[in-house]
């Protein structure tokens, strides 16, 4: 099925469906929430019944998003026939098993290069800076007018996943689409204030704990930080407040790769990987059963924090040693 036919099929499915359940990934960020909410609000404007599901609560910094209070941690009952997954590489990212998809029409909308194409219809564009770029195209093709609430969700999704247009995934099209949203009449000052200027004290304490573990390796090209369960308990921070902390290590002059290891349970370590210019961290994450993007990826290991650090750092150091021109 070519891209045009796929898009037409998805549009037809959504137009026909009387009700739709929307899903986004664990540890929700601006892109998965903003994209999911935007689709849902657009479908509601067409008279559809919509439910929103995420395994985790909405982070405090994103509760301003229109519709955020409707995101539930309970699966929809009864389950609609049409299920739409947003920004999810695989079902593990939304804490579901294939059994849940039985007797359903599954639409998978994503921009990760590591997407597993688990849907019946998979609209995956790994060149998009954010899932929201795909969602905006979908909403336009549904014939829905972009109102301020939808635009606020989509703008937040793009500005967060593109690193405020700093990351290498930002394209000319990203800026064109963003301009389309701004023209709706967004309160940019309020959006940016909520996203970037309001940090809970617990998050600052968590950053302090992470920076205390900062270690430079591979001649200063690799920066590593870690957080233990005790760090989360002492700071009073929930797991979602660790999102983005890895970028403090990535910003150090001379660093190509930054790693943040988080102990989320006994023998359960979540690892965030970020690179600056050339190392494909998606390939590193894939070695450990994870994935993501070339410059941003992650994985989870069921080992001790020390073992996870040793294994991941060794893989990164080998990648750095092979070199950029390999």
H or E segment to which residue 223 belongs: strand 222-227
Distance CA 294, CA 32 (A): 18
Instruction: Give me the pLDDT at residue 240, please.
Output: 85
Q: Which two tokens stand for residue 216?
A: 């430079």
183 shares its domain with 206: no
Place of tokens 């579901």: 96
Q: Where does a domain end: 139, 163, 196?
A: 196
CATH number of the domain encompassing residue 67: 3.90.1640.10
CA distances from 297 to 92, 193, 271 (A): 15, 27, 8
210 shares its domain with 285: yes
Instruction: Give me the pLDDT at residue 198, please.
Output: 87
Q: Which residues of the chain have pLDDT under 50?
A: 325-326
Instruction: Give me the pLDDT at residue 90, please.
Output: 93
Domain limits at 87? 3-196
Instruction: Give me the pLDDT at residue 5, please.
Output: 86
Instruction: Give me the pLDDT at residue 166, please.
Output: 86
Contacts of 50 (CB under 8 A, 6+ apart): 19, 20, 21, 22, 40, 41, 43, 44
37 shares its domain with 159: yes
184 shares its domain with 317: no
38 shares its domain with 183: yes
Q: Which two tokens stand for residue 278?
A: 């050339």
The answer to whether the beta carbons of residues 20 and 43 sit under 8 Å apart is yes
Residue 130 backbone dihedrals phi, psi, to 5 degrees: -150, 155
Q: Where does a domain end: 135, 164, 196?
A: 196
210: region left, alpha or beta (phi > 0 left; psi from -120 to 50 alpha): alpha
Instruction: Give me the pLDDT at residue 326, please.
Output: 45
Q: How much is the pTM?
A: 0.85
293: region left, alpha or beta (phi > 0 left; psi from -120 to 50 alpha): beta
Q: Where does a domain end: 143, 163, 196?
A: 196
């Amino acid at each position: 099925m070519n891209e045009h036919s796929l898009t037409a099929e998805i549009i037809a499915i959504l137009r026909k469906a009387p009700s739709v359940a929307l899903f986004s990934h664990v540890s929700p960020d601006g892109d998965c929430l903003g994209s999911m909410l935007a689709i849902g609000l657009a479908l509601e404007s067409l008279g559809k019944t919509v439910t929103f599901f995420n395994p985790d609560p909405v982070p405090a910094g994103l509760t301003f998003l229109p519709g955020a209070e409707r995101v539930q941690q309970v699966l929809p009952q009864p389950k609609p026939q049409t299920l739409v997954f947003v920004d999810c590489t695989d079902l593990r990212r939304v804490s579901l098993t294939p059994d849940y998809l039985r007797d359903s029409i599954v639409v998978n909308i994503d921009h990760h290069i590591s997407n597993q194409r688990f849907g019946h219809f998979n609209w995956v564009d790994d060149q998009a800076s954010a899932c929201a770029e795909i969602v905006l195209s979908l909403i336009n093709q549904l014939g829905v007018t972009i109102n301020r609430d939808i635009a606020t969700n989509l703008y937040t999704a793009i500005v967060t996943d593109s690193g405020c247009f700093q990351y290498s995934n930002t394209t000319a099209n990203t800026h064109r689409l963003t301009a389309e949203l701004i023209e709706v009449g967004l309160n940019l000052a309020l959006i940016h204030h909520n996203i970037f200027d309001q940090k809970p004290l617990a998050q600052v304490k968590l950053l302090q704990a992470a920076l205390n573990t900062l270690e430079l390796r591979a001649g200063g090209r690799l920066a590593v930080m870690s957080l233990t369960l005790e760090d989360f308990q002492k700071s009073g921070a929930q797991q979602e407040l660790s999102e983005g902390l890895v970028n403090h290590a990535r910003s150090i002059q001379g660093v190509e790769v930054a790693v943040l290891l988080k102990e989320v349970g006994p023998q359960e370590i979540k690892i965030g990987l970020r690179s600056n210019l050339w190392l494909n961290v998606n390939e590193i994450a894939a070695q450990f059963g994870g994935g993501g993007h070339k410059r941003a990826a992650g994985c989870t290991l069921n080992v001790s924090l020390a073992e996870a650090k040793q294994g991941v750092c060794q893989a990164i150091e080998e990648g750095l040693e092979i070199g950029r021109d390999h």
